[in-house]
Amino acid sequence: MAERLSFTKGHGTENDFVLVPDLDGTLGLSSSLAVALADRRTGVGGDGVIRVVPTELVEDAEVRAQARGATWFMDYRNADGSVSEMCGNGTRVFAAFLRREGLETADEFSIATRAGVKHVRRDGEGFAVDLGPWRLGDAESAERDGFDALVHLDGGDPYSALTVDLGNPHTVVALPEQVELDTIDLTAAPAVRPDPPQGTNVELVRPMGPGHVALRVHERGVGETRSCGSGACAAAIATSFWAGSLDTGATWLVDVPGGRLTVRLLPEHGVELAGPAVLVADGVLDPAALREPARA
């Protein structure tokens, strides 16, 4: 392991990440290192850890094949060390780092993820990312019933939900009017049936008006976070589906505890996420001083 490890701390609507540059592909990112970096008491602290590495140097052949269209790979791990396909807010913070460091200089470029190549463009003070095509988890059940899953919250009766795959899994719950969004306990992961084999992010959605929803999310491998970019997209898609109007070009405002995101529906089941990306600190740490936190 390196004697000293450089890092950058950033966030997108308060969904925060530790970025670790690995520009020559020699560092790697183990589960234990990700857990230690993400710990908020003994490490740097974050909802996830992102390794910045040239796509052509990645061991995974499927990822390495993306090097033709994307120079840099976003190697993402959740705070518990588990590998994730990608992260919507993380893509913008990753893009902000590439631009600041001069690793990308154009206003539009692409990045590689485990969920495929994602196209990024400058958008005001932040970035917009085309997260690519989405699909419903069980299209037959969704078309027939409007839902394809059940979610248990606080140990009570289950709520109907819709699963949406954006390269990473989401289960979206439309809360009944009598249930207040801010009163639900998301300390523990909601129980989802059928049980997703790879886990799922769970979004709780409250309509606020035309083209406008509020959202809370429990992310797999992390817990409740202040924001989830791909979750915001899943919430907009599910709400549009329930309204029977998946219109190309439709724009949604999604309020999360950490701020506001904008979601735009694209042709052929595409979706674009736009919002801020902030790099707040740079540092150097001693990896030997990190320790994996004790588990309760």
For the chain, what percent of residues have pLDDT higher than 70?
A: 98
- Centre a 10 Å sphere on the Cβ of residue 76 and count the other Cβ atoms it contains: 24
What is the C-alpha to C-alpha distance for residues 262 and 128, in angstroms, rounded to an integer? 9
pLDDT in tens, 215-271: 999 999 999 999 999 999 999 999 999 999 888 889 999 999 999 999 999 999 999
In the predicted model, is pLDDT for residue 292 greater than 80? no
| 128-156: pLDDT as tens digits | 999 999 999 999 999 999 999 999 997 77
Residue 247 is predicted with a pLDDT of 83
- State the Rg of the chain over Cα: 19
**Domains defined for the chain, CATH in brackets:** 5-125+277-289 (3.10.310.10), 133-273 (3.10.310.10)
Q: Distance (Å, rounded) from C-alpha 218 to C-alpha 216? A: 7
- The torsion of the CA quartet 20, 24, 29, 35, rounded to 10 degrees, works out to -20
Report pTM: 0.93
Q: How far apart are CA 211 and CA 239, in angstroms?
A: 9
What's the first-to-final CA gap in the chain, in angstroms?
A: 27
Mean pLDDT score, 101-122:
97
- pLDDT on residue 209: 93
CA distance 215 to 3: 42
Give the confidence band of 58 by pLDDT, cuts at 50, 70, 90.
very high
Mean pLDDT of 44-60: 97
Q: Is 233 considered catalytic here?
A: no
CA dihedral 235, 237, 239, 240 (to 10 degrees): 160
Structure confidence by residue, pLDDT tens digits, 160-178: 999 999 999 999 999 988 8
How high is the mean pLDDT of the chain? 94
122-153 exposure pattern, b = at least 16 Cβ within 10 A, e = fewer = ebeebbbbbbbebebbbeeebeeeebbbbbeb
Asked if 201 contacts 222 with a C-beta cutoff of 8 angstroms, the reply is: no
Which residues are 127's β-sheet partners? Answer: 122, 275
87 classed as catalytic:
yes
Of 44, 70, 87, 93, which one is the catalytic site residue?
Answer: 87
pLDDT score, position 246: 86
Q: What is the pLDDT of residue 293?
A: 61
Q: Name the residue among 169, 161, 264 with its Cα closest to residue 204.
A: 161
pLDDT value for 3: 80
Catalytic residue among 63, 74, 136, 228: 228
Q: Which residue has the tokens 């308060």?
A: 14
More confident residue, 2 or 136: 136
> Does 296 have pLDDT greater than 60?
no
280 contacts: CB under 8 Å, gap ≥ 6: 9, 10, 11
